[in-house]
Amino acid sequence: ETGVTQSPTHLIKTRGQQVTLRCSSQSGHNTVSWYQQALGQGPQFIFQYYREEENGRGNFPPRFSGLQFPNYSSELNVNALELDDSALYLCASSPISGEQFFGPGTRLTVL
What is the contact surface with other proteins in residues (CB under 8 A)? 4, 31, 33, 35, 40-45, 48, 50, 55-56, 58, 90, 92, 94, 96-105
Q: In the complex, what is the shortest distance from the CB of residue 101 to other proteins, in angstroms, rounded to a whole number?
A: 8
Could you give the 3-state DSSP secondary structure of residue 83?
A: helix
Q: In the complex, what is the shortest distance from the CB of residue 63 to other proteins, in angstroms, rounded to a whole number?
A: 20
Q: In the complex, what is the shortest distance from the CB of residue 29 to other proteins, in angstroms, rounded to a whole number?
A: 11
- Residue 11 or residue 45: which is nearer to other proteins going by CB? 45
Instruction: Report which residue type is found at 54.
Output: E
How many other C-beta atoms are found inside a 10 Å radius of the C-beta of residue 18?
Answer: 11
Sheet holding 64-68, edge to edge: 5-7, 19-24, 74-78, 64-68
